[in-house]
Amino acid sequence: MAERLVVIGGDAAGMAAAAEARRRKPYLEIVALERTGWVSYSACGIPYLVGGEVAGVDDLVARTAQEHREQRIDVRLHHEVKAIDLAARVLEVRDGQRRRTFQLDFDQLHIATGARPTRPDLPGISGESVKGVQTLDDATALLDHARTSRCRTVVVVGGGYIGLEMCEAFVRWGAEVTLVEGADQLMGTLDPDMAARLRDPIRGLGVDVRLGAQVAAFEPGRVLMADGASLPADLVVLGLGVTPNSELAAAAGVATGARGAIAVDRRQRTDADGVFAAGDCCTSPHLVSGRQVHIALGTVANKQGRVAGTNLGGGYATFPGVVGSAITKVCSLEVARTGLNEREATAAGFEWSAATIETTTRAGYLPDAEPMTVKLLGERGTRRLLGGQIIGGNAAGKRIDTLAVALHARMRVDDIIDLDLAYAPPFSSVWDPVAVAARALSRQLEEP
């Protein structure tokens, strides 16, 4: 009998691994079990689907189940794994359409079960109108509910990336949107001084932004707040981050780590023999803090999946780690970050200085030059770059990658000043914004 690889979870981390393993081992039997009706889709595209910029759910599918099957990957939709028996090397699988449960043997196992929207333990949290946005099934459920309920009022809970993107999406949809955030700032991955720059633009969209606001309960048609306020809500969207789907693996005895995510080594191997994991369900090494972290992002899922697939296919590959890069666009503002913010740097034990500079996206003398703010953090003593945050107009955001690569290369702040970055007036002032910020931080690091 052929060697069998079973992949649990059919989005990026699962199918990237399956595809890579297939490429390397033509005779490997590969079965991919997916709980929902969709594989290989862009969950990050859901806000644009809701906002109407993307016409249909199918547009978010990078590769269909049928296309995978043509590569001899046996994709089975609506199949949920209920239990893993590592000793017997067998899975208990529930076929949701045929409503039967069966057993499936495996030689190697790849766990890519993803993550689910975090649901706070509050009255009414399981209500019909309280929706998370993680899978395409979630997206279709949310859209169905929104269309059915006409959805005049939306409360978004949580002011992170997904929360802000969903606010803009439902403004486009035509709803009255309230954003409820428990902390005193939006976008907790930014420092408060940077996050404060987002409040007015979001309010400018017409969103009622409520910071430091605690939800007390969800009721049909409204959200009750701890301060007694009642917010009308045909729909509630949860944007409180995600929880790794690691329970299945943990129940089988696979070790977990940061935030309960499945612990993996550089080759995406769990501590169980022949069992790999990748994506939102597992941990990643953070190259700046040196710690294992749980970062649920499509980019990481794809990269880890490819690494797992290479190893599952008999090759050798390692995932070097993350530096914490993320980006979003809210209204016409681009918001990006990488590395550690102030809170994270302190938590990781660094003594740091920070510098923030204001500049423009093009040479100041050109029309359409838009404001742009760059903040950098560096370690005192070593002068190592620790992180960066950028908020600005058109084409400001992806400049964060310059800093991301510098973090990968463990550059000092001073190294960044002299980087040979491309310049012409339509793109920046003659000193690149990133270099200007590095100069400011370099001076800060010299202060006693």
Which residues contribute to the site for a second copy (CB under 8 A)?
A: 12, 42, 44-45, 48, 53-54, 59-60, 62, 161, 287, 297-300, 302-303, 307, 319-329, 336-338, 363, 365-367, 394-395, 397-402, 404-409, 411, 415, 417-428, 430-432, 434
CB of 315 to a second copy, least distance (A): 11
- Residue with Cβ nearer a second copy (8 or 60): 60
Burial class (CB in 10 A: 0-12, 13-18, 19+), 52: exposed
Of 44, 151, 167, 282, catalytic: 44
Q: How far is the CB of 406 from a second copy (least distance, A)?
A: 6
What is the CA 285 to chain-centroid distance, rounded?
Answer: 15
d(CA 417, CA 419): 6
CB 223 within 8 A of CB 208: no
Q: Which is nearer to a second copy, 88 or 422 (CB)?
A: 422
Residue 148 makes CB contacts below 8 A (sequence gap 6+) with none
The least distance separating a second copy from the CB of residue 440, rounded to whole angstroms, comes to: 14
Phi first, then psi, for residue 351 (nearest 5°) are -95, 125
Closest distance to a second copy from the beta carbon of 100 (Å): 35
- CB 10 to a second copy: min, Å: 15
Q: Which is nearer to a second copy, 215 or 326 (CB)?
A: 326
Q: How far apart, in Å, are the Cα atoms of 195 and each of 86, 185, 205, 370, 389?
A: 46, 6, 16, 18, 10
For β-strands 100-105 and 90-95, DSSP reports them as antiparallel
Q: How far is the CB of 423 from a second copy (least distance, A)?
A: 4
Q: How far is the CB of 11 from a second copy (least distance, A)?
A: 11
Token representation of residue 8: 């649990």
**Cβ count near 34 (within 10 Å):** 24
The alpha carbon of 316 is separated from its chain's Cα centroid by a whole number of angstroms, namely 26
Query: Which of 39/225 has CB closer to a second copy?
Result: 39
CB within 8 Å of 205: residues ≥ 6 apart: 167, 168, 171, 330, 331
Q: Between 196 and 419, whose beta carbon lies closer to a second copy?
A: 419
Question: Do strands 326-330 and 333-339 pair parallel, antiparallel, or not at all (unpaired)?
Answer: antiparallel
Three-state secondary structure call for residue 391: strand
| DSSP secondary structure string for all residues of 38-81 | --SB-GGGHHHHHTTSS--GGGGBSS-HHHHHHTTEEEETTEEE
In our burial notation (b when 16+ CB lie closer than 10 A, e otherwise), range 224-259 reads bbeeeeebebbbbbbbbbbbbbbebbeebebebbbb
Alpha carbons 183 and 186: distance in angstroms, whole number: 7
Nearer to a second copy, 100 or 365 (CB): 365
CB of 141 to a second copy, least distance (A): 20
Closest listed residue to residue 6, CA positions, set 280, 276, 302, 229: 276
Nearer to a second copy, 120 or 426 (CB): 426
Closer Cβ to a second copy, 210 or 399, answer by number: 399
Whether 151 is a known active-site residue: answer: no
* Residues marked as catalytic: 44
